[in-house]
Amino acid sequence: MLNYSFALGVAVSSLLICVVNLIYTFIQRRTDKLQNRLFIAILCILAVNAACGIVSAVFGGNPDLQAGRSIALNLSRYAYFLTHTALCPLFFYYASNVSFVSTRLTNKNIFLLSLPFFITELMAITNPFTNWVWWLDENLEFHRAWGEILIYLAALLYFVLAFIVVLRTWSFISSKRRTSLIFLFIMVAAGVLVQLLNKDLKVEVLAEAIGFTGVMMSVENEDDRIDMGMGFYNRTALSLDIGGCLTNGRKLKLLMIRIHNSDLVNRLVGNGETNTIADILSDYLKSVVPRYYIYAAEKDTFVITLYSKSFADAEAIADRISTRFDNPWDYGEYSIQLNATVVLADIPTQIKSTAELAYMIDSPTPDSEGRRVLKGDDLQFIMRRHAVEDAISRGFAENSYEVYYQPTFHIDGKLHGAEALIRMHDKELGNLYPDEFIPIAEQSGLIDDIDEYVLEEVCRFLKSGIPEKYGIDNINVNLSVLQCMRPGFVETITRIVESYGVNKHLINFEITESIGASDYGTLSRVIQRLRQQSFLFSMDDYGTGYSNVSNIFSLNFDVIKIDKSLLWGAEKSDMGMVILENTIRMIQQMKKKILVEGVETAEQIKLLERLKVDYLQGFYFSKPIPKDAFIEYISK
Ligand code: C2E
Ligand code: CA
Ligand code: CA
């Protein structure tokens, strides 16, 4: 009777494993998603199977237990087959769910997919009358019948389907999960095989229970997908999940909520540790959709996935969320106004790849003219951005870049210098302007090449001696602040300029004021080192940022370029005039030279003469023009 005590031990172990798994699943409260519920159902089936195994072993191994022996053995076998037949289909459903396989199958396909299950389940149900699957002889010994082969074949089919589903989504499963899924497949296959070869070695349920323990530890445990502080899924999880949906043809709508004033809010009420915005929004978002549909993609950007919702439903939700932002949010003792844009996108018609999803999250949301829900054609910006980035990267190979020059003048009208401004002529997109492609180049890391290209072009031009001949004091070259902070920046600049043998005081670097919360220490050292070599520096776009004035002036610029918006504002209102006058007076007291940009009319020149600025730049004199045209312009 060794085989009965063996079977009993195995069945008891299996039951214990299932029960422990169930207990942990409940302790961790992983019970709210469909995926979790399927997992629990699988564990319950395995627990019932293990219990049946215990009953079979106890009664099968004890012929003395006459009372109820036949009933117990018959019932336990019956219960086993009724439930076990559902295991593989359920596992297939689970794997599909984890992999985001489309749930929108045609009725015919659903029918075909479920057919093997229905047939085998029906055979198990009717077995007491047919004995097609199994039967017990007069000694109550268990015998397999041909129907059991069918049940195994159906199980094999679902098993293979589950395997295919997992394989298709391979690249969107973390390696930890992959390993545990492979382990599960191997365990199940081995268990079934052993039991098929020798029906006394009843290890199938045990193997499955152990396999699913692995699944619980990796697939069901989502610690690596969840941002613990916020309780939302993280960006990696978002990209994996949407990747899974895209490969498996799962359709969904996506809501992206972008908070525009998060920096300000963090500065006002943040404690530097938790994500304040997530804290503020957490309860509200969870009241709109269950938590497992919410992702925190960035500290100011949240994404909600909406499965099986029509576009109209999704629109209604987007509008509701957007309207909520009309009212302030309570946070501790504060009442906070958040500015938000909601983007509604359809997957896969509008977002076709995880790269496009990343674009949408990383690119600034376009100006929506007061509307705060962007949808449909508003989303063209994603495609455009994609196209522009491609154009930037092929730009050097295809000679699409060109440097234009815009002259600058002394206040008395004498020629002073020029600003070098990049242009791009792409064969597909036509002429592109830096306002569009420079921010994209900055984000994709291509800005270094562009700025070096401009510097080399300017050096080449200066080397020709033409600018000096016509009285150009220096040429201004724009620098991206990000680039200035990079290690080795000073050396790179020096190497380029020295390789052309150009006088360094002929080059004036412009750095924009909207440096934001940059590291002034590093920037100040970079500027100091380059100024020591006699390069000049201008502060660009003064008056557009909100920088700390004393920080700005600690950077020691030669020229402050006042942004065109200040000049134009002075013409529009008395208030604007006060701002311009006082800004100029302050800079003059700091003993810095002033250049005003955006000069378009003779009246503006009169105003600026009165305010005694030093230099002028603007369309009144000339737009930025190609080098040859510029040479012609200054030669006159
Ligand atoms: P910016 O440095 O403030 O350049 C001045 C911009 O104002 C130029 O636009 C110029 O064409 C425009 N502008 C000049 N005078 C007038 C005027 O009287 N009226 C009007 N309406 N506009 C005027 P552009 O060339 O499109 O450049 C836009 C921005 O792109 C630049 O602003 C600069 O921040 C960036 N940029 C341009 N070239 C480069 C470059 O080589 N490297 C880097 N890093 N950034 C660049
Ligand atoms: Ca500039
Ligand atoms: Ca400027």
**319-350 pLDDT, tens digit each:** 999 999 999 999 988 899 999 999 999 999 99
Ligand 1, atom 11, lies closest to the CA of 624
Residue 53 CB–ligand 1 contact under 6 Å: no
Confidence of residue 31 (pLDDT cuts 50, 70, 90): confident
Token pair belonging to 301: 């950007």
- DSSP letter string, 388-426: HHHHHHHHTTTT-EEEEEEEEEETTS-EEEEEEEEEEEE
Q: How far is the CA of 300 from the centre of ligand 2 (A)?
A: 29
Q: How confident is the model at residue 516 (pLDDT cuts 50, 70, 90)?
A: low
| Cβ–ligand 1 contact at 600 (below 6 Å) | yes
Average pLDDT over residues 60-73: 81
Average predicted confidence (pLDDT) for the chain: 90
Residue with tokens 């009319």: 601
Specify the pTM: 0.68
Q: Are strands 294-298 and 252-259 parallel, antiparallel or unpaired?
A: unpaired
> Which phi-psi region, left, alpha or beta, contains residue 608 (left: φ > 0; alpha: ψ -120 to 50)?
alpha
% of the chain surpassing 70 pLDDT: 97
Which tokens hold the place of 144? 């397999």
- With the most atoms of ligand 1 within 8 angstroms of its CB, the residue from 400, 421, 452, 507 to mutate is 421
Ligand 1 within 6 A of CB of 526 = no
pLDDT higher than threshold 80 for residue 354: yes
Using alpha carbons, select from 560, 600, 623 the residue that is nearest to residue 419.
623
Q: Which of 51, 79, 230, 63 is nearest to 140 (CA)?
A: 63
| pLDDT on residue 518 | 63
Please name the residue whose Cα sits nearest to atom 10 of ligand 1. 624
Give the pLDDT of residue 82.
Answer: 95
**Structure confidence at residue 381 (pLDDT):** 78
3-state SS class at 252: strand
- pLDDT band for position 100 (cuts 50, 70, 90): confident
Q: Which ligand is nearest to the CA of 479?
A: 1
Ranges assigned E (strand) in 400-535: 401-410, 415-426, 430-432, 474-479, 507-512
pLDDT value of position 295: 96
pLDDT > 70? residue 148:
yes
With a cut of 50, say whether residue 514 has pLDDT above it. Answer: yes
Centre of ligand 2 from the C-alpha of residue 255, in Å: 37
Looking at the CA of 617, name the nearest ligand: 1
pLDDT tens-digit map of 534-588: 999 999 999 887 667 777 788 889 999 999 999 999 999 999 999 999 999 999 9
Question: Looking at ligand 1, which atom is closest to the CA of residue 438?
Answer: 45
Mean pLDDT for 405-412 is 97
Q: Which of 408, 389, 386 is nearest to 536 (CA)?
A: 408
> In the predicted model, is pLDDT for residue 370 greater than 70?
no
Q: What percent of the chain has pLDDT over 90?
A: 66
The predicted structure's pLDDT at residue 50: 97
Most confident of the ranges 24-33, 98-107, 141-150, 310-319: 310-319
How far, in Å, are 57, 91, 164, 197 from residue 9 at the CA level? 9, 25, 34, 20
Determine which residue's CA is closest to atom 14 belonging to ligand 1. Answer: 618
Lowest mean pLDDT among 76-85, 97-106, 107-116, 223-232: 97-106
| Closest ligand to the CA of 406 | 1
Shortest-distance ligand to the CA of residue 542: 3
Closest ligand to Cα 510: 2
Ligand 1 atom with least separation from CA of 447: 44
Q: Which residues are found with C-beta within 5 Å of the ion, ligand 3?
A: 540-541
- The CA 540 to ligand 2 mean position distance, Å, reads 6
Least confident of 314-318, 365-369, 398-402: 365-369
Q: How far is the CA of 292 from the centre of ligand 3 (A)?
A: 46
pLDDT at 175 (0 to 100): 85
- What is the best residue among 597, 604, 605 to mutate for testing ligand 1's pocket, by most ligand atoms within 8 Å of CB? 597
Question: Is the shortest distance between the CB of 438 and ligand 1 below 6 Å?
Answer: yes
Q: So what's the pLDDT on residue 1?
A: 47
Q: Is the CB of 563 under 6 A from ligand 1?
A: no
Token reading at 397? 């190979």
Give me 555's structure tokens.
Answer: 């950077």
pLDDT tens for 593-603 read 999 999 999 99
Identify the residue with better confidence: 487 or 363. 487
**Among the listed ranges 95-104, 118-127, 201-210, 505-514, which one has the minimum average pLDDT value?**
95-104
Tokens standing for 73?
């053995």
Q: What is the pLDDT of residue 454?
A: 96
* Tally of helices (H runs) and strands (E runs) in the chain: 24, 21
Evaluate: CB of 434 within 6 angstroms of ligand 1.
yes
Distance (Å) from CA 560 to ligand 3 centroid: 10
Q: Whose CA is nearest to atom 19 of ligand 1?
A: 598
More confident of the two residues 497 and 175: 497
Which stretches within 28-145 are classed as H helix?
A: 34-60, 69-98, 107-130
Asked whether the beta carbons of 547 and 513 are under 8 A apart, the reply is yes
Distance, CA of 630 to chain centre: 44
Q: Is the CB of 480 under 6 A from ligand 1?
A: yes
pLDDT of residue 386: 82
- If one compares 237 and 554, the residue with the highest pLDDT of the two is 237
Contact 366 CB / ligand 1 (< 6 Å): no
Split at pLDDT 50, 70, 90, the class of 103 is low
For residue 365, pLDDT beyond 50:
yes
| Residue range 418-423: mean pLDDT, rounded | 97
Pocket perturbation via mutation, ligand 1, pick of 424, 438, 486 by most ligand atoms within 8 A of CB: 438
